[in-house]
Amino acid sequence: MKLALISDIHGNAEALKSVLNDLSIVGATHVAVLGDLSFRGPQPKECLDLIRELQAKVIKGNADEWIVRGIKKGEVPEPAFEMMRQEQAWAKEQLTEEDLNYLSKLPETLELPLSNKEQLYACHATPSSLFDVISNEADNDSFSVYTEANNRATYYAYGHIHLPFLRAFSEKKIMNTGSVGLPFDGDVRASYIVLDSTHNDINIQFRRVSYDVEKACHALDETNYPETAKKVVKKMYTTGSKP
């Protein structure tokens, strides 16, 4: 079994298509998507359709919640609130009622067997919240929110922070996929993880996939995406960093 974990696509179809091509190169047999499919990028509909065609296991992220019901005060920094509200309204217009219904009904956690003995437990941010942030620099105690939510698992995965990392402690392994569409670690390439259990052990491979960043920026220009937000998203594409 080769399980690919992808997350935080954020409407960037150019990055997603490059990752899907890489999945075939590595021979992924199963795919799990850890949320944030469509919001904050030029191709929300295309990304959602590509994911649904995969027949993957998919869970909800905060951006999926936002695109359905809007962004509430206090959920984003105040200076960015109006801009992100405009982005949400634009993205929602690109999706059908059926698309929105699909996003609204996504589960928030996922448990998958990796082998006869090993299980993976996954969520977008934390098991009890789509919005809470557990930093890659957090102490080990902070990660107990995952292990306490499901002590059967040995492997835990989440997205949300757009920073790939692996932490091992107390015979558990906790990992972050990084982001397909909006990496924040200074590397503009799309990020995802492959868990390979075809041998006796579980091999964890972090993959970085180049994509046509210029084409992704051009895709923004071809839409009526909110102008101020367009500049912010382009900067994230070209620098691989937070706005």
Taken as a whole, the chain contains a residue count of 243
Is this prediction's pTM over 0.85? Answer: yes
Cross-strand bridge partners of residue 113: 119
Distances in whole angstroms, Cα of residue 197 to Cα of each of 3, 4, 31, 91, 113: 8, 11, 14, 38, 10
Q: Which two tokens stand for residue 143?
A: 């990660």
3-state secondary structure of 57: strand
Which has the closest alpha carbon to 163: 194, 131, 142, 187?
187
Homologous superfamily (CATH) for 2-239: Metallo-dependent phosphatases (3.60.21.10)
Q: Which two tokens stand for residue 17?
A: 């298509």
User: Do residues 219 and 14 lie in contact, with contact meaning Cβ atoms separated by under 8 Å?
Assistant: yes
Which has the closest alpha carbon to 2: 210, 207, 208, 204?
204
pLDDT in tens, the chain (243 residues): 999 999 999 999 999 999 999 999 999 999 999 999 999 999 999 999 999 999 899 999 999 999 999 999 999 999 999 999 999 999 999 999 999 999 999 999 999 999 988 999 999 999 999 999 999 999 999 999 999 999 999 999 999 999 999 999 989 999 999 999 999 999 999 999 999 998 778 999 999 999 999 999 999 999 999 999 999 999 999 999 998
